């Protein structure tokens, strides 16, 4: 237990220090460090997880807490509800369909496919959705983080390349694709884009959490 | 502080109950999030304490997925076998989502503002 706490404190420190780099992701860094430490110390994952259960438990309340930023932006949604909701839904659908198409084309197994389908949902929600549709929660969390990183690193460049310049369009795209990390990245451009990204992230989480399990029931 | 946490846990519990008893395909915390959203609309605002607790949790949210992320170590074989598919799916998927969201939103905004101009609504946006 003491050892686990020490490892964890170290990981927190690492993520804090890397916080200033947009590409060096705190979650990915701490995960890699922890895996390395656990591997060297020959501690198995079950043992580690039993000791950090409390941190894991907080994911539930954190998911519920997402309602607050969603509520704070509700005026902006009302102003352009139809374009925003349709844009976010089409964007999420495009992401899921391309990921599924690539998985089916490559013939990878179902658990990997379902865990990849949740990659544009913010990690805590992605985990619970993946679990329900027969994916692996830990894979879903890692994919969500990797997608977040990818979008945060290349998203603004790609959007500029296609001459997408308004804060609303940029914010929505980043939030739909890269959830929390995309939101943090686009917030550096402008407050308005950040608000739209937060909104898109919440909408994606809520919408996909409802749609994906239903879709899985029909398809699988 | 305590009241804010209690509110979140209460909504999570309520969501869990609704999801289990109703056999919904949606997870408990998500039901709880939807319920809290409805409740905030009914109340018409976020009270200070709840707001502070939520901002605190969300600011440190990244930390919360670390324990589960470490679980990827149990899948090292899978990553070794399928890293190319995973990388491709993530890259192409992210690109497709980014561009589709932006262009669909832009097209619909242009379309709705055009039809509003035609109706000559006096409401300034």
pLDDT at residue B28, rounded to an integer: 78
Task: Tell me how far CA of residue A64 lies from CA of A22, A44, A114, A138, in angstroms.
Answer: 27, 31, 23, 20
pLDDT at A20: 47
Work out the average pLDDT over B54-79. Answer: 75
Query: What is this structure's pTM?
Result: 0.71
A92 and A11 assigned to the same domain = no
Q: Which residues of chain B make contact with A151, given a CB cutoff of 8 A?
A: 94, 97-98
Are the beta carbons of A156 and A189 closer than 8 angstroms?
Answer: yes
Claim to verify: residue A52 and residue A82 sit in the same structural domain: no
Nearest to B26 among A38, A170, A210 (CB): A210
pLDDT more than 70, % of chain A: 85
Mind listing the pLDDT tens digit for each residue in A137-176? 888 888 887 788 778 778 888 888 888 888 888 888 888 8
Distance of alpha carbon A213 from alpha carbon A85, whole angstroms: 19
Are A27 and A109 members of one domain?
no
Do you know the residue count of chain B? 125
Q: Which of A57, A74, A102 is the last residue of a domain?
A: A57
- Shared domain for A25 and A82, answered yes or no, is no
User: Are A64 and B74 inside 8 Å of each other by CB?
Assistant: no
Q: How far is Cα B116 from Cα A103, in angstroms, rounded to an integer?
A: 43
**pLDDT at position A8:** 63
Q: Cβ contact (<8 Å) for B75 and A27?
A: no
Which pLDDT score, from 0 to 100, does residue A121 have? Answer: 80
Sign of CA dihedral B25, B30, B31, B34: negative
- Phi, psi angle pair for A164, to nearest 5°: -95, 110
Q: Same domain, yes or no, for A6 and A105?
A: no
Q: How many folded domains does chain A comprise?
A: 2
Question: In terms of domains, do A28 and A83 share one?
Answer: no
Tell me which of A67, A137, A165, A169 to substitute to probe the interface with B (most B C-beta atoms closer than 10 Å).
A67
The answer, yes or no, to whether ipTM is higher than 0.95 is no
Q: In terms of DSSP H, where are the helices of chain B? A: 2-21, 28-43, 48-59, 61-64, 66-70, 76-119
For A212, the 3-state DSSP assignment is helix
Both A92 and A35 in one domain: the answer is no
Q: pLDDT by residue (tens digit) across A133-142?
A: 877 888 888 8
- Residue-range definition of the domain harbouring residue A124: 65-219
CB pair distance less than 8 Å for A138 and B101: no
Q: Tens digit of pLDDT for each residue in B10-34?
A: 998 998 888 888 776 667 777 888 8
Identify whether residues A99 and A207 lie together within a single domain. yes
Q: Where are chain B's structural domains?
A: 1-64, 73-125
Between A6-10, A87-91, B59-63, the lowest mean confidence (pLDDT) is in: A6-10
Q: Are A114 and A215 in contact (CB under 8 A)?
A: no
């Amino acid at each position: 237990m003491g050892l686990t706490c020490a490892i964890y404190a170290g990981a927190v420190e690492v993520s804090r220090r890397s916080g200033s780099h947009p590409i060096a992701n705190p979650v990915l860094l701490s995960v890699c460090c922890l895996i390395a430490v656990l591997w060297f110390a020959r501690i198995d994952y079950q043992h580690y997880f039993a000791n950090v259960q409390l941190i894991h438990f907080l994911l539930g309340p954190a998911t519920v807490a997402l309602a607050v930023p969603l509520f704070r932006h509700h005026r902006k949604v009302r102003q352009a509800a139809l374009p925003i909701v349709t844009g976010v839904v089409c964007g999420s659908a495009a992401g899921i369909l391309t990921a599924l198409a690539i998985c089916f084309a490559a013939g990878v197994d179902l658990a990997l496919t379902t865990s990849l389908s949740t990659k544009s949902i913010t990690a805590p929600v992605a985990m619970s959705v993946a679990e329900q549709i027969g994916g692996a929660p830990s894979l879903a969390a890692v994919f969500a983080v990797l997608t977040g990183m990818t979008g945060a690193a290349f998203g603004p460049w790609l959007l500029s390349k296609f001459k997408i310049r308004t804060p609303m369009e940029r914010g929505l795209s980043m939030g739909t694709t890269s959830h929390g990390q995309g939101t943090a990245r686009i917030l550096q451009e402008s407050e308005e884009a950040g608000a739209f990204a937060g909104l898109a992230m919440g909408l994606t989480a809520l919408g996909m959490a409802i749609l994906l399990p239903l879709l899985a029931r029909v398809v699988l | 502080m305590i009241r804010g946490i209690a509110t979140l846990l209460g909504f999570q519990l309520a969501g869990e109950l609704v999801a289990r008893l109703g056999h919904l395909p949606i997870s408990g915390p998500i039901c709880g999030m939807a319920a809290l959203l409805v409740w905030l609309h009914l109340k018409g605002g976020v009270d200070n304490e709840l707001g502070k607790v939520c901002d605190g949790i969300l600011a440190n949210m990244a930390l919360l997925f670390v324990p589960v992320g470490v679980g990827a170590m149990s899948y090292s074989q899978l990553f070794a076998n399928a890293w190319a598919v995973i990388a491709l799916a993530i890259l192409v998927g992210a690109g497709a989502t980014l561009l589709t969201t932006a262009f669909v939103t832009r097209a619909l905004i242009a379309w709705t503002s055009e039809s509003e101009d035609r109706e000559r609504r006096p409401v300034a946006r």
